[in-house]
Each structure stands twice: as structure tokens, then as C-alpha cells.
Amino acid sequence: MGSAANAEVRAYIVAKLKEFGVEVEEQISRHLHGDNTIDEATSVIGRTAGTANTKAFALMAHFDSVPYGPGAADDGSGVVTLLETARALKAGPPLRNDIIFIFTDGEEAGEVGAQAFMRSARAEQVGLILNFEARGTSGPSLMFETSAGNGWQIRELARAKVHARASSLTFEVYKRIPFGTDFTSAKRRGLKGFNFAFIEHFSWYHTRNDTPEHLSLASLQNHGTYALGLARHFGNLPLDGDLTRPDVVYFNSLGPWLVYYPMTWSGPIAWTAAAVFLAMVILGLAREHVGIVELLGGMLALGLTAMVCALSTLVALAFVYGPRKLFVQYTTDITHLPDLVAFHHNTLYGWAFAALTMGVFIGCYQALCRRIRVESLAAGALAWWVVILAVMQRFLPGGGYLAAWPLLFAALGLTISFLRRPGAASTPSRVFMLGWLALPGILFLAPAYHVLLATVMIMTAPLLVLVIVLMLSLLIPQFPLMTSPNPWWLPAGALAVAFVMLALGVSSQGYTAERPRLNCLAYGLNFDTGRAAWFSSDEKLDEWTSRFLQPNGSRAKRGTIGEYLTGEEREYWKAPAPVAPYQGPQATLVSDTTRPEGREVTMRLAVPDRPLEVRVRLVSDNKVHWARVYDQQVPGGGKAWSINFRGFPAAGTDLKLLVDATAPLSLKVEARLLGLPSFPGLPPRPEHMAPEPNTIRRPWPFRSDHVFLIRTFDFPGEAAGLHHPR
């Protein structure tokens, strides 16, 4: 946001829409937040007119990217999807409703462009909205979020026959994750709609490897199928009425087919599953297939086996992740990733942990089957399903189906099995029947594990493999047949597969251009002192950063960087740097007038170096009564007063202040730029290294490849003239 590259992308979008014959306008927004931060963003709005518009159908994607990578997936994929949809719609028959294409700016800075659109009168014209995102570079595009009262939306999503990958469980999980997208602003505005994203290969997300070459064309095609298909479907439906209907439970069944039913049905379905389980237990006790003690033993067996599987996975995770890194992450903040080394193999490791769990689980149950009857082990395991169903119904009602239907079918299978006489030998047909009735659980849980693995990733693997434990618990009656004639071939084979997969991952964790080593190097220049410095938040220096922070082989030193980042008192790796030819912040006095209420000073602020962000701080013993910028009144304050510009205009801006006339006025202007300066003798970053993205180690006050320029201006009170830099 605010960069020259951002302006180029915006111009390209405008040109393409005009080429397609789409009406285009640019929406410039300058919004003041409560913390005296002003965001400036310019979004692009396109519109095609309908034949008998009710309300518009809108598609949204953001064209800004993070400064750590090109943003081909996030969110170039969404931009391309909207552009190609616009082209296809203009080439086809006209739709009933208007179609609005919203290309937002500043999503990465906090949904700036989306919030501006939602504050405008244009949002009143929208009946339904789609948002397209990416949190990776591959994988199926998932409809992972919708709005409240979604009954009508989900029904029409199914009728549109775009075969969307969707689950109310995914929506329930996402609601509890502290992240947002432009769709968050749409929901806050009260709009109905859907949010789509593909999320696999997270390790390239927000990095320099988020390039067109790494973007999955299949994922892009998924986006396009949804966008065009849903535009044609909803573009011909009346959208001007009340679209709110009671929420529904929804999920994919065989393949992409979407099943949905009212959320109010989930309770009766859960009670039915629990009743079938209870009937199974009563029948099993009555016909002496199970005993009370054995049933409790079966429950205890699954609980202990699950713990062993989780602990085994924890040990394996520590092996591939690094014990110290894992411990620090678990004991501080699990969302603060230390690096991305293991995440390059997230899918490989995730399924290795699944194979490990399979081997441990079946091995444990082979031993248990010699002491407890298989029927008791299976029935005791299903008791845990009842507990999980109750918990999900209470806390994740949209995901209760994931426990209800497997429990219902598995309990029904054991009930039928208990109709045979006690002591009768198991027959292949009986085992086959139980296998078929366990199939719904496998069809639900295996895809759920894959999606959850991509969502919460391997750092949650010790908990995530409990999904595999539950899936295997449905197959306990099949274990004697599956493992004959040798009871240990299956667990041994599963463990061997797990070890091979783990070994493949660990052996390929070396640093390459595809899996770069991440490091941090920033530059600061203080125009007041004439000094410059390199600094880094890395724990250890590598062979590249040491060239800057250990010049001429000197000993690396740590020091504070408050001279370049005001108020930052922690110590980092730091070394003197050459002074780069930046022009730095500039302030020209426009007017200086003394009034009865105080001194009114107007200055022209400019930073020719095209910063991403500019902050102006009051540093003298004075008071700002109020400030004005972009014709907006900004609250004042004492010596801690400041104003922050995100998306600072290239031409600069005027800032007017009312301050005390009897006190000196000094302002410190801080600018944050992207891109390190180059100097003779200092090498560029090697191909096997990359600047750390914002997906790791979030608490630091600066990021790699950022430049911080700082200059103080004194305004002694002359009626005219230039700034007075120190």
C-alpha cells in the first residue's frame, strides 16, 4: 500500500477492465483511526449493468501484497480470477443483476480498502458478495467462511453446481482463529456472502516464493470455477429481499457433492446416534457379548492408546521440528513460528504422523485383543464418540455432524453384530458389514484430517492425530481379519512407512532457493546525528548477515536502536553502516500564525523516498490542541502525541497544528521504506536465503529489508521560511 509497484498494479487493473468494457472508478479513501493513524488507499471498482437489477452481486479480491514477496497467490490469484470473470461475463449473455468487481487496496494493512468500500453508499447496492483469498500457493479452493443466517446461501451454493468444497466445521474452526480478511469487513457491514481460499504450501505464503511459477494452476482454476459459476447463478436471482434464513449444517459427501440440513436437526440427529449407541450397549450386555468391566476397559484402552499415539507424535515432531524450538513455541505463543524449515514438508510430515499413529494404535490393540474381547474394545471406543459428540454439539455445533454420523453407523453395525449368538465365530461377511458401516466415518475423517493439517499445521500434530485415532477406532472389529495370518505385519508396515517419510523430510531440510534460510537485516539512518546502522533481530548471525554486522571480521555486538526506532529499548545485533543517499523526511513551513487560542502552524510534509509509513511525533515540551490533515480533524495530546500515515502520498501532504504559543515546537518525522540500500563490497543476499516474512516471530518492532529514516524539525516561530532541521 502506497508503493510505486502498487500504483502500477492498480493502473493495470483499470486498463484491463476498460479493455473489457467494464465501467471503472477509483475509490480514494483516507480514514482516521482512534490511535491517530490515517490510512490512505485507492481501490478499483468495476461494474457491469444488469438487465433488471434487483441488487448487485459483488466479487472482491485485494491487489496489495506484503513487502516480503510478490504476492502471486495472495492475492494475485484473486485479482486474476476477478479479471477473467469480468472478461467472460462481458463476452456472454447479460445477467439480470449488476455485477460489481471490488479490487481492494490495503488488505494486508488491515482491510483498509474493504472498510472504505463498506462505509460508502456503494455497499448499499450489494445483495451478496464473494471474497477470494489465499493462505498458501496450492490446494483446493475452500469455501471456509460464510455469514450468519446462511440457510438460503448454502442452498443456492449447492444448486449452483459449482461443486464447492465446503464444511460448517471449517467455518466453526475459522471463527476461533484470530485472523481476518476483507470478508470480515463485509460481514461487519451486514452483507451476506462467501469467503474462498486455498491454503496448502503455507511455507511459501508471504515470502519471496509466492511467485507465478509456484502458484498452482489447479487452485487458480478452482477460484475461477466458483467465481464465474456463482456470478451466473446469483446474477440471475432476486437479491433485494431478506436473504437471512436459519443456519444450516453443510459438508461434502461423496466427492464434491454438498449435503446440507437445518442446524436445528443436528440435536435430534445427535440424540438418535446416542440412542442407537445405548441400545447397542444394552443389547450387548443382555446377550453377553460385552460386560460392564470389559466395556469400561474398552473405554480406558482407547484413552490410553490415544495418549500413547499423541506422545509418540510429539517425540517425532520434536525430531523434525527441533526440541528447543518446539518447547519455546509451546510455552510462549503457538502462533509465533520460529522459522519455516519443517513447514516446507507440512503435508509429508502430517501423513507420516498419521502412519505413525496407525502403527502405534494397531500395535496396542493387537496386544489388547488378547486380554479383552474385540466387541468390548469396539463398544468402549464408541463411548468416546458419544463424549466427543456432546462436546462438539456444545462448542462446535456446525461440526457435530463429524461425530454424529460415524457414531450412528458404527453403533448400528455393532447392534446388528450383537444379534448373533454369543461365542459364534466372526465371519468374513460380518466383518465386511461392519466395515461398510464404518465407511462413513472414514469418508468424513480422512478429508477432515487433511484440511485441518493444512489449516492448523504440524505444530498441532499431537492433538491432530487424535482424528486418526478416532478413525481407526471404527475399524477395531476388522483388526483380527486385517492382521491375519501375522498380527504384526500391519503395524510394522505402518511404522516403516512413517519412518521412511520422516527420513525423507529430514534429509531434504537443507537450505535451497525453494526452501530458503530466513534472516533479518534492517537499516537505519538518523539525519540529526548523521549516523547510520545495520541491525538484526536474528538469534544468530549467518554467513551473509555477518558481513554487515561483523565488518572486517570484528566481534559482533548488540546494542539498542532507539536512535532509529523511537522508544525501542531492547538490544539487537547492531553495527555502524555507511550513510546512504536518501533524501529523508522533509518539512516546509507554509504558515505560522499566533492566535488567542494558540499558535497555528501549517507545514508541508514530504518524503521523496516513497515510504510505506510515516510517523510524526511531538518531541518538545508543548501540547497539540488539535491537528488537521486531509480536511480531517485529528485529536491532540501532550508530549506523547503523534500521528501516523500508512500509504503516505508520493506528493506529500499538508499538516496543520494548533499548539501552545509560549512553548517551543519540535517534531520528529520517522519514515519506513522497503528495500535495503546497496554499497560497494557488500554482497546481495544469496539465493538460498530470503528475508523473514511476517508469518514468523511476530513480536519484533521491525522486519527484514526495511529502512528507517528519522529527522527532527524545530519551528522557532518565524512567520515564513523553510524547516529548521537539527
pLDDT digits (tens, 9 = 90+) for 656-670: 999 999 999 999 999
Do residues 317 and 463 touch, judged by C-beta distance below 8 A?
A: no
Question: What is the three-class DSSP state of 136?
Answer: coil
Nine cell digits for residue 454: 493444512
Residue 722: predicted pLDDT: 44
Domain coordinates in residue numbering, the chain: 4-255, 264-422+429-507, 516-726
**Quick one: CA dihedral 13, 14, 16, 20, positive or negative?**
positive
| Residues forming beta bridges with residue 589, ordered by sequence position | 603
Q: Note the pLDDT tens digit of each residue in 7-16.
A: 999 999 999 9
Q: Give the per-residue pLDDT at 721.
A: 41
Q: Which cell numbers in the block locate residue 130?
A: 464473494
CA 547 – CA 545 distance, rounded (Å): 5
652 CB-near residues (< 8 Å, 6+ apart): 586, 604, 605, 606, 607
CB 40 within 8 A of CB 30: yes
Which residues in the chain come in under a pLDDT of 50?
719-722
pLDDT of residue 719: 40
Other C-beta atoms lying within 10 Å of the C-beta of residue 193: 25
Task: Domain 4-255: state its class.
Answer: alpha beta
CA distance 372 to 383: 16
CA distance 332 to 97: 51
pLDDT digits (tens, 9 = 90+) for 518-567: 999 999 999 999 999 999 999 999 999 999 999 888 889 999 999 999 99
DSSP bridge partners of 143: 166, 196
User: For the segment 84-95, what is each residue's pLDDT rounded down to a tens digit?
Assistant: 999 999 999 999
Cβ pair 197, 135 in contact under 8 A? yes
pLDDT of residue 423: 66
Question: What whole-number distance in Å separates Cα of residue 118 and Cα of residue 122?
Answer: 8
Nearest to 290 by CA among 381, 373, 414, 408: 373
| pLDDT recorded at residue 487 | 83
The residues, ordered by sequence, that sit 6+ positions from 509 with a Cβ below 8 Å of its Cβ are 320, 341, 342, 344, 345, 515
Q: Note the helical H segments in 215-265.
A: 217-234
Residue 562: phi and psi, rounded to 5, are -60, -20
Question: What is the CB neighbour count within 10 angstroms for residue 24?
Answer: 17
Query: What DSSP assignment string belongs to 304-339?
Result: HHHHHHHHHHHHHHHHHH-HHHHHHHHHS-TTSBS-
Is the backbone peptide bond immediately before 485 cis, with ω within 30 degrees of 0?
Answer: yes
Burial class (CB in 10 A: 0-12, 13-18, 19+), 281: buried
Q: Which residues contact 659 (CB under 8 A, 6 or more apart)?
A: 598, 599, 601, 622, 623, 624, 625, 665
pTM: 0.93
What is residue 176's predicted lDDT score, i.e. its pLDDT? 82
